[in-house]
Amino acid sequence: MNATLASSAARRAAAALRRHAGRPAARVVAGSIVGQGLVVAASPAITRLYGPADLGALAVVTALSGVVGAVAPLGWDRAIVVPRGETAARLLVASALVSVLVLSTVATVVAFLCREQLADLTGAQVLADAWWVCPVTVALVATQRVVTAWAARRRDYRGLARRNVLQGVGQVVCNLSLAPLGGSLGLVLGVAAGRLAALGGAAAGRGRSRRAAPVLRRGAMRAVIVRYRRFPLVSTWSSLVNVAGQQAPIVLLAAAHGSATLGGVALTLRVLGAPVGMVADAVGLQVEGQLGALVRARQGDLRGSVRRAVARLTVVAVVVAVLVAAVAPSVFPVVFGGAWAGSGAVASIMVPAFAAQVVVSPFSRLLPLLERQGTQLAWDLARFAATAGAIVVTGLAGTDLVVSLGVWSGASLLSYAVLLLLVDRAVTRHTADWPA
């Protein structure tokens, strides 16, 4: 009788969670569509105001800032959604922000001292002329990760949707308004401008839901740090390798072919990669909010929820990917200008990896929720070896850029398939002793 009641209660809780979280979470996706839709809509103007070398510099700055920005919170951001208690979560936010401050300061010193060497390595002169852009972007990227994790814990879907819209607005306004200055500054600074606008949007509605600050016991910070120490000790490296697996190939391509040749790749990343990343992030936030609540309550059909969501995303992603691969070669030259005809072929090559990212990467957030940081780190290392190795091997073989991109896309697709299997196994094992 008790087992039946527990099972019934679990089903009711899961159903209520889907009803209350599903619709608000759709706002986050809608915000991503609007924000990144503005970026895509402005791209035809961007490609006429900036040249391929400028977009190549953007790709390099985005890659470097993304890698360091992912590490700057030292993994505390990934722990914020885990505690059941509010006090522990707030202390984790404080730990993450202190880490961001320290690491951003270090990044500033390195960017200044190594500005000429970084510019020579990547061919992006902006790293020497405007060396401060990278550390500023690092600080904003890292801070946004912390704020986003806190909003996901509170299921503040309205604030997250506002964040996504304003990120696109800030980026486009910066790109267009600074274009008359010449050079790539207006383009590369747009990343930081978008993140700054997003932070303002995420914080705009906080006053409506103020809560009294919890009373902290003596030694509470130390207890929280000890309890969640695996996040900085393991998840920091996992975050580093995870983002490096995405961004390091860009830096390696710049080193092998020069940033000026990456214009077509950078346009594809802007038109397809950035929206894909935002949509994957939005779905991931829903995973953290909705499925994370099931993990903390140890109730509900977590495995079934994951599998159904993956199946739905797969259908949508495959349809969109096939459509993009078919039309991109003919559409890109018309929309962005004849000088960017090669970008259509690049888009067709890279779109399978983008589709896999949308389907799989949101559910990788379950691994830290299930405290499987070791599994996440092992996959991150394997993915980094596969994607970076694809660029290094093809570069040593003397192949052209298109071949390198094809091998990179294939390595990414295979890596995401392995990740999906790891997530499914972790969920199955974790829920084995949950109430039936």
**DSSP symbols for 343-412:** HHHHHHHHHHHHHHHHHHGGGGGHHHHTT-HHHHHHHHHHHHHHHHHHHHHHHHTT--HHHHHHHHHHHH
pTM above 0.85, yes or no: no
| Cα 411 from Cα 417, distance rounded (Å) | 10
Pull the structure tokens for residue 305. Answer: 């929820």
212, part of any domain: no
218, part of any domain: no
| Cα 421 from Cα 96, distance rounded (Å) | 30
Structurally, the chain folds into a number of domains equal to 1
96, part of any domain: yes
pLDDT: is 248 or 363 the higher one? 363
Q: Domain residues for 363? A: 2-204+224-430
C-alpha dihedral, 242 to 246 to 252 to 253, nearest 10°: 170
249, part of any domain: yes
Label residue 19 by pLDDT band (50, 70, 90).
very low
| Cα 45 from Cα 124, distance rounded (Å) | 22
Q: How many CA atoms lie within 13 A of 277 on its CB side?
A: 16
Taking only the tens place, the pLDDT of each residue in 375-433 is 888 888 898 899 989 988 988 888 888 888 899 999 999 999 999 999 999 888 888 87
214, part of any domain: no
| Cα 46 from Cα 383, distance rounded (Å) | 32
11, part of any domain: yes
Taking only the tens place, the pLDDT of each residue in 173-219 is 999 999 998 888 999 999 999 999 988 876 665 544 455 455 556 57
Taking only the tens place, the pLDDT of each residue in 87-116 is 888 899 999 999 999 999 999 999 999 999
435, part of any domain: no
Q: In the predicted model, is pLDDT for residue 155 greater than 80?
A: no
210, part of any domain: no
